[in-house]
A and B are shown apart, each in its own frame.
Chain A
């Protein structure tokens, strides 16, 4: 394929990027429809005659836009399945390997669920624009996953980032949403600058932006301070994306303030893609500079840096989560901790470790989309997402309560749920890597972290199952509307978490086979 680069026909090109193209076209379609529907709606609001009418208009528009978006994403998944097994475009600008195809499917599936969950979000005034942003972000994810070239990766990151900033600040009626959006934007753009700076330094040393070529170059170059700075800068950028401490400060605010589907998307699909890319960069591009994170035999390289980030994230995330009374904020800090766990596989740095990381990131994403689905439901029924709003959920909606317990317990790592197997896989891979159980210290920190974490997950479940419903919640509970679709989605996701936990083999084998 590589030799055919210069002579590649546009038709061939279009075939290879067909999934991305489909998603872009869908996004444009959704945008157009949203504009048309929006114009009709605004004329109604100006007349101020029937506010109730306009609300139902919006929700109809949201529903139709969601369905269009979901349809497009489903077709995109089909298109990914039709791609050839291996292909390379423009010297690694875009590559197709089993790994990229698998994670394109996973990312698009997560986006699919996010889009469907959006139907329950009644506060969106411009559903067309919102869903178009989700779809553009998805394109960013696909580019991010499907590239082995630093420039393209950066473009993917920016496309993703810019969409996410707007998605976060989308709820114009909520101050928190604006705050979250601004924080996310400021932190995000700073870290983008870091990444770009790092990439340019690496380019300066190696003279190339293709990961494979960088790796070849670095193997022959002695470690110099400039290169060290470049690598650390690049890692800082990604540490921000995956919300690893100490670059996590945006996460709790974004998780709490953003519209719920945005938060779910940031926590799930964006994180999976970031881990795929981070893994590719460090394991392919920086392979010669692995270093060693073993306790008594640290060798400079990227793995001690990631190990330090992981340990710090686990401790900070879990300890601060203990003190939270808002479920979304709690999930935000738990996300920091989980970023730490997930990094452990990368620190191990072998094929096993990478697949463990990818497995864990995937199941974490599925869990979080579901958890945010429940949060959205509770928020709509009770008007908030504090722990007190979850009180008595078990009696109001047993299915949602059961799903929530599946998600929380999976995050805590209780069998037979996916999180348990994921942790076992991750930690055993980390211990196996290197001689003499060098990463034992990191695994111990992680186990200590998951011990702490059980407490706050149980606090959430205590509110759901044990506590009596608060008065205000009980009053709101009367206005429960039967929105079947989001509930079904949440139940499906909970079933998936349980199923992957009981039978992890299919997913684990897929990922293991895809990792080079």
Chain B
């Protein structure tokens, strides 16, 4: 039944092209809510034991001549990703409620990205997987280049070319796996013994290809530029789901197919991950644009995912999957506040300018949301970020204590830039320039009408906050499903 997430969202995309614009946002909302509901039903109804293995849901011959099947499957890791996709997608649509420029087209691309992501997370056939994976690239381009803001065409092109470059590396790796093993079935491939020589070079090619999308340092530069250029919905989708495609695929395909290659290269993954965490946090500390701060924080948080994968214990990898969920929710929330709640009303994201506005009075709900998001992002206990990061660090402790020390220092930096952004954007000091700023606010004709946060925005924000709190308070909800699935993977044996 979970397969219907894909069909419903694709159907929504097609309907968006056909029906008049009055229906556009409702179709998008219904399609994404249906996806989320299906995910939740699967979470409740599927017995945990069934999620320990990549269990086939659908399997239909597609191109028999080449051994391609339309083959979907699910396990605890996939289910977690499907859930975060649903949550981010619904809130993204809610936060795009008042998009009125080329509405159908906007929601079409948006829903297409969501549909492609569902497809990636549920595919059990390598070709199908890759088709969905590449399908997500182009909608991102249009979403940013048509509907974006700052330097949008550059950001869109950079992001697309980086993604496609990663895609080409993945193409090589997938072809080699397919041609050598003679099958495209992920379950069969994960039983196949590839020669160590092949794994030694095929693994880094494949993993690096995926890691480009996950924002691995030093190939992360598309992420901040892309996030800044993208419309709010685009940033939320990018940070919330699309970056997870890379890390999920790295785990599901690269690590699972080439375990020996993974063993050879895992310390390099850890090294790059730790550099990414610290470097991105340090860069974020110096940014003046709020979206750049969040963009770099995304890279830093995705570094935790890569660290968890690289540490290669059941606990750290489960933590990494949990972090994918957690970051998906938190990043969406952060971008929603910065891009939607603040920027729509002040038309600026410059921290220095925002500092003079004292927004905590003008936008109390936004301030509240941002505090929650910042707390979750910093890793305060009780939010999902804490649960995920602590799991990763405990899991990595044995193998890489040194990396954990450095990461701990990096977390201080994360706290520092998050607090700085929070303080400057909402609790700025009244400085002499304030009179000027206030007059600007008063002059902005749209200000009064748009002042209050809309109901759609509140719903979206509450959904995201609820998700991060629920998982933060009770991480077992997901971890119980993730751990067995991770333990069943070959690289741990």
Q: Which residues of A contact B (CB under 8 A)?
A: 402, 409, 414-416, 420-421, 424-425, 427-428, 431-432, 437, 443-444, 447-448, 450-451, 454-455, 458, 461-462, 465-466, 504-505, 508-509, 512
B131 in contact with A420 (CB, 8 Å) = yes
Segment among B49-57, B172-180, B271-279 that sits at the interface with chain A: B172-180
Q: Are A451 and B179 interface neighbours, CB within 8 A?
A: no
Question: Which residues of chain B are within 8 angstroms of A447 by Cβ–Cβ distance?
Answer: 168, 171-172
A457's nearest neighbour on chain B, judged by CB, is B138
- Other than the known A466-B153, A508-B63, what 17 A-B pairs have Cβ atoms closer than 8 Å? A414-B137, A427-B175, A428-B66, A428-B179, A437-B176, A444-B172, A447-B168, A447-B171, A451-B161, A458-B157, A458-B160, A462-B145, A465-B146, A466-B145, A504-B63, A505-B62, A512-B65
Query: Is B480 part of the contact surface with A, judged by Cβ < 8 Å?
Result: no
Most chain A beta-carbon neighbours within 10 Å: one of B17, B131, B160, B172: B131
Give B1-58 interface residues, CB cut-off 8 Å to A: 17
Interface: B142 (CB within 8 A): yes
Contacts known (A428-B179, A458-B160, A465-B146); A414 close to B135, Cβ less than 8 A: yes
Interface hits, B157-214 → A, CB 8 Å = 157, 160-161, 164-165, 168, 171-172, 175-176, 178-179
Q: A458-B141, A465-B142 are in contact. Are A415 and B132 (CB under 8 A)?
A: yes
Q: Does B134 contact A (CB under 8 A)?
A: yes
Given A443-B172, A466-B145, check contact A424 B127 (CB 8 Å).
Answer: yes
Check B179 against A437 for contact (C-beta < 8 Å).
Answer: yes
Q: Does B64 contact A (CB under 8 A)?
A: yes
Q: Which residues of A contact B137 (CB under 8 A)?
A: 414
The interface residues of chain B lying within 8 Å CB-to-CB of A458 are: 141, 157, 160
Q: Given the complex, which residues of B lie within 8 Å of A414, measured CB to CB?
A: 134-135, 137-138
**Chain B 123-138 interface mask (CB, 8 Å, partner A; 1/0):** 0000100111011011
In the bound complex, what is the Cα–Cα distance between A465 and B143 (angstroms)?
Answer: 11
A455 and B168 contact, Cβ closer than 8 Å, known pairs A427-B175, A428-B178, A431-B176: no
Once the chains are docked, how many angstroms separate the CA of A508 from the CA of B61?
14
Residues A416 and B131 in contact in the complex (CB < 8 Å), given A444-B172, A447-B171: yes
20 contacts between A and B (CB under 8 A): A402-B17, A415-B130, A416-B131, A421-B63, A424-B175, A428-B66, A428-B178, A428-B179, A437-B176, A443-B175, A451-B161, A451-B168, A454-B160, A454-B164, A455-B157, A455-B161, A461-B142, A465-B146, A508-B66, A512-B65
Contacts of B161 in A (CB 8 A): 451, 454-455
A421 contacts across to B, CB distance below 8 A: 63
Q: Could you tell me the distance between the alpha carbons of A450 and B171 in the complex, rounded to whole angstroms?
A: 11
Query: Do A451 and B165 have beta carbons less than 8 Å apart?
Result: yes
Chain B minimum-CB-distance residue to A424:
B127
Interface of B is mostly: helix
Partner of A431, one of B63, B132, B175: B175
B204 shortest CB reach to chain A, Å: 15
**Measured between C-beta atoms, what is the minimum distance from A254 to chain B in Å?**
30
**Known A415-B132, A443-B175; contact A425-B153, beta-carbon cutoff 8 A:** no
Please state if B164 and A451 are interface contacts (CB–CB under 8 Å): yes
Are the CB atoms of A505 and B64 closer together than 8 Å? yes
Query: For the side of the interface on B, what is the size category?
Result: 20 to 34
**Contact at A450–B168, with CB atoms within 8 Å?**
yes
A458 to B142 CA separation, bound complex (whole angstroms): 10
Least CB distance from A424 to B in Å reads 7
- Shortest distance between the CB of A178 and any CB in chain B (Å): 38
Is B63 within 8 A of A505, CB to CB? yes
Complex Cα spacing A428 to B176, Å: 8
Give 9 nearest A-B pairs by CB, closest first.
Answer: A415-B131, A431-B179, A447-B168, A451-B168, A466-B145, A505-B63, A415-B135, A432-B179, A454-B164
Q: CA–CA, A465 to B134, complex, Å?
A: 20
CB distance from A453 to the nearest CB of B (A): 10
Interchain CA distance A427-B115 in the complex, whole Å: 27
Interchain CB contact under 8 A, A428 and B160? no
**Chain B residues closer than 8 Å to A461, beta-carbon distance:** 141-142
Q: Assess the A416–B65 pair: CB atoms within 8 A.
A: no
Complex alpha-carbon distance, A450 and B62, angstroms:
25
Q: Are B138 and A409 in contact (CB under 8 A)?
A: yes
Tell me if A465 and B172 are in contact (CB < 8 A). no
Residue of B nearest to A423 (CB): B171
Please measure, in the bound complex, the distance between the C-alpha atom of A416 and the C-alpha atom of B13, giving whole angstroms: 14
Q: A504-B63, A508-B65 are in contact. Are A415 and B179 (CB under 8 A)?
A: no
Within 8 A of A (CB), among B400-429: none
**Which B residues touch A402, using CB under 8 A?**
17
Give complex CA distance A443, B153 in Å.
Answer: 30
Q: State the Cβ distance, A125 to closest chain B Cβ, in Å.
A: 40
Q: Tell me, in angstroms, the Cα distance from A461 to B63 when the chains sit together.
A: 30
Residues in A whose Cβ lies below 8 Å from that of B135: 414-416
Chain B residues lying within 8 Å of A431, measured Cβ to Cβ, are 175-176, 179
- Smallest beta-carbon distance B125→chain A, Å: 12
- Output the residue of B65, B145, B161 with the most chain A CB within 10 A: B65
Q: Is the CB of A505 within 8 A of B65?
A: yes
Closest to B148 in A: A466
Distance between B491 CB and nearest chain A CB, rounded to angstroms: 24
Which residue on A lies nearest to B133, using beta carbons?
A415
Task: Name the A residues within 8 Å of B64 (CB-CB).
Answer: 505
Measured CA separation A447–B168 after assembly (Å)? 6
Q: Nearest A residue to B160 by beta-carbon distance?
A: A458
- Residue in B closest to A459 when the chains form the complex, CB atoms: B157
Q: Within the assembled complex, what's the spacing in Å between the Cα atoms of A437 and B201? A: 14
Chain A residues with CB below 8 A from B134, complex form:
414-415, 420
Shortest distance from the beta carbon of B209 to any chain A beta carbon, whole Å: 11
Which chain B residues lie closer than 8 Å to A437 at the CB level? 176, 179
Nearest-CB residue, chain B, relative to A453: B164
Expressed in whole angstroms, the minimum distance between the Cβ of B39 and any Cβ of chain A is: 23
Chain A nearest Cβ from B196, distance in angstroms: 15
**Chain B residues, CB < 8 A from A420:** 131, 134
Chain B residues lying within 8 Å of A455, measured Cβ to Cβ, are 157, 161
Per the bound structure, the CA–CA distance linking A409 and B132 in Å amounts to: 15
A302 to B32 alpha-carbon distance, docked (Å):
55
In the complex, which residue of chain A has the Cβ closest to the Cβ of B145?
A: A466
B153 — which chain A residues lie within 8 A by C-beta?
A: 462, 466
Give the Cβ gap from A364 to chain B, nearest Cβ, in Å.
Answer: 19
Which of A428, A431, A461, A508 has the most chain B CB atoms inside 10 A of its CB? A428
Q: Please, how many angstroms separate the alpha-carbon atoms of A504 and B64 in the complex?
A: 10
Q: Tell me, rounded to whole Å, the shortest Cβ–Cβ distance linking A496 to chain B.
A: 17
Per the bound structure, the CA–CA distance linking A437 and B137 in Å amounts to 29
